[in-house]
Structure 1
């Protein structure tokens, strides 16, 4: 168990596995695991059909009160309240006060030295305190990142496939803390070495626990899932790691399926960033095309809900990357709705989004001379938008590509632009 001089020790089976607080109304699922009624009800109401601690699919979502445990918690609570006022006050202060760096070092040593002896409860209680400490400030995160062996210890917890030592809740906490300190740690090559599994040891390059957190993180705000995606992106630092990640079973499919309008916007943004990084090698792009990435990006760009400028920029950037291969270009040219969505995003988002959108349109209409794409641009009032762009304070590259596009439409269109002329010398924008 965790040292009493750090914070009040609560019997581990009195805590709800979800909230980590002492249970007020303990109830048991069909798997035999007990939770606080309010916490498990929120979990089930969110549409989940698994036991949060074991991740087993529930045969029934009904639960029964655990009266024996309820009585034990009441007896324990009464004994705590019957202590002297000074003892109670000191205990309350110890429970609520954040840990100091010195005490954090002791907690880290206990996780490393006692987890095999004390089981998951020690790691769970200690990691909860460490997570709170890391969330308080950048100074705390830098302290943890510089602590000898701390990042390696977190990686060991994440890579462990021992369910007793690393149950789902411990895996999630370890992932959240590693995400918080990874930027301050800075050595992403070392992080890659600690996390990425060599091919000779496993066909999957990622630890199963990291994939589980990414796919099934229990936090309603997707906090754990976002942390897992960011860790994966942080180790995609070279062609070798990007290809290894692309070949991990189910990773690309899950990332692509997560970029949907109904998904948490923060998770969508994180998944887009990760996909942009992994998609750089030429071998990965056709895989993304086969996973219907372009259709997913079309839905994001067409979504009536408010999407941040950052997310729009990333969606366009990923579309540009995926469509740079032969298979991707063929699919984009055949998807008129996607081309029209790109036209609508060519203005009023950001300068970065404008440049990527115009580059996509220039590629399909000018470089590849695809008539279906050109027709889609005309239908979506793209000619007017291109003219407005040329009159705006756009970059030289955007102005040149817009000029090239107008040349194409002057020749192919029966609109009033047939009389538009330009003497601008063609300059390749790349």
Structure 2
């Protein structure tokens, strides 16, 4: 928060800011060209309801932080409309031109930000065009909306906050069974990916069977950019309501396979994050889809990804493994992988708090839930799991994780005398120990 005293404001009003040009020359900037907040030359001067002019970026940040008073006068702001001060902006531009010989560059004329009224007018036109089934006008309006959003984060937020998500969701639902207007469907999805969170009405339209079937159809196409947009929309939609994951798996049985391929051969390592999250939602909602994914080799793929994955991808990979371990077939596929236990022990307290909790959860499902496999318990002991679980309890963790770690320690304690060296694991010498 900025604090202004009368003494400081008086000094700013009487003096001019010095701009240093080169090593010898100095330039004096007129005080009324400076933003009272940053004391820098205003690039986009706007006037508040109190009559004081500020640079738009600074006053928007001030108001965005929850302040409801004018920084200079301390008066309560009666209107949050920022009126462009064209007069002072033109004066600043003329001054810049007059002093260009001193190295002063002319500030560009700022583009007027989009207003909520303009967005509402576009949404109204889009709704009308959707009702008429005019996909060409819809493409034009959605493209214009996306273009405005690219201008600035302020415009993007204004568009998202003005109910555009509901209108785009309705448009997608209305055209979801008309695959010949593929260009419109892809444009809408591209805009929807940054419109979340959505209201109940919008969520139900996107989660309807026709909409999900259409997204699955685009997902199976060759347009990699459109496929990424589908996955991002699905990721956010399923995080709002995971029941749609089961519907998605039912409307098109090829979806798990397509997502599996996206995880297996991504454009870049970070591109795995969203499809892994969607896969997690699907396999925890549909036992049939989980069985298919296990047979495809998802457990082995995710474990291999986990070896050197960055934090975000590693957390999603562990969540997928945790979901796989909820079935007997899934547990068997994880246990049979030679890297499984070594990776789980290695990743404890190496990724994040969530990563540690997931590692403990997976180990608990493998060792404590169901038939006890003493070879797995002994392997975990040899890898140093006992010491790491003790540290987890010492540094603190959630209640559920605490209970599972305690149960694992009690189980491992029964096998302590059968392990000669707690830190020896000849089969995993290439894995660096983190304890």
Give the TM-score of the pair, scaled to structure 2. Answer: 0.59
- Name 1:70's counterpart in structure 2: none
Question: What is the Cα deviation at residue 143 of structure 1?
Answer: 0.4
- Name 2:188's counterpart in structure 1: 174
- Rounded to whole Å, the distance in 2 between the matches of 1:217 and 1:94 is 38
Worse-matched range after superposition: 127-136 or 242-251? 127-136
- Rounded to whole Å, the distance in 1 between the matches of 2:188 and 2:317 is 30
Change (3 A) 1:217 1:97: farther
Change (3 A) 1:107 1:138: closer
- Rounded to whole Å, the distance in 1 between the matches of 2:285 and 2:229 is 28
- Name 2:362's counterpart in structure 1: 360
- Rounded to whole Å, the distance in 2 between the matches of 1:134 and 1:155 is 22
| Alignment root-mean-square deviation, CA | 3.7
1:186 aligns with 2:199: yes
- Rounded to whole Å, the distance in 2 between the matches of 1:261 and 1:408 is 43
- Rounded to whole Å, the distance in 2 between the matches of 1:324 and 1:237 is 17
Aligned 8 A contact 1:134 1:177 in 2: no
Counterpart of 2:271 (choices 264, 267, 272) is 267
Please state whether the residue corresponding to 2:318 is helix, strand or coil.
helix
- Name 1:301's counterpart in structure 2: 306
Please give the per-residue CA displacement for 1:88-147, whole angstroms capped at 9, x wherever unaligned.
xxxxx9997654433334434444445798965433332112123456333421202487
Counterpart of 2:161 (choices 138, 142, 152) is 142
1:161 aligns with 2:178: yes
Counterpart of 1:292 (choices 269, 276, 297) is 297
Aligned 8 A contact 2:381 2:412 in 1: no
Counterpart of 1:103 (choices 118, 128, 131) is 118
TM alignment of 1:72-91, pairs within 5 A: none
Counterpart of 2:412 (choices 406, 410, 415) is 406
- Rounded to whole Å, the distance in 2 between the matches of 1:118 and 1:402 is 60
Change (3 A) 1:218 1:325: closer
Change (3 A) 1:209 1:140: same
Question: What is the Cα deviation at residue 329 of structure 1?
Answer: 1.1
Please give the per-residue CA displacement for 1:338-396, whole angstroms capped at 9, x wherever unaligned.
22221211122122211221222233234432244335435644444345445544453
Please state whether the residue corresponding to 1:167 is helix, strand or coil.
helix
**Please, which runs of 5 or more residues in structure 1 have no aligned partner?**
1-92, 199-204, 418-430
Change (3 A) 1:416 1:372: closer
Change (3 A) 1:112 1:362: closer
Please state whether the residue corresponding to 1:207 is helix, strand or coil.
helix
Please state whether the residue corresponding to 1:180 is helix, strand or coil.
coil
- Rounded to whole Å, the distance in 1 between the matches of 2:350 and 2:323 is 22
- Name 1:350's counterpart in structure 2: 352
- Name 1:245's counterpart in structure 2: 248
Change (3 A) 1:413 1:230: same
1:197 aligns with 2:199: no
- Rounded to whole Å, the distance in 2 between the matches of 1:393 and 1:231 is 31
Counterpart of 1:129 (choices 137, 141, 144) is 144
- Rounded to whole Å, the distance in 2 between the matches of 1:295 and 1:132 is 42
- Rounded to whole Å, the distance in 1 between the matches of 2:228 and 2:273 is 13
Worse-matched range after superposition: 314-323 or 371-380? 371-380
- Rounded to whole Å, the distance in 2 between the matches of 1:334 and 1:322 is 13
Aligned 8 A contact 2:276 2:320 in 1: yes
Change (3 A) 1:171 1:398: same
- Name 1:77's counterpart in structure 2: none
Which of the pair has the greater relative contact order for Cα pairs under 8 Å at 6+ separation?
A: 1
1:283 aligns with 2:287: yes
Aligned residues: 306
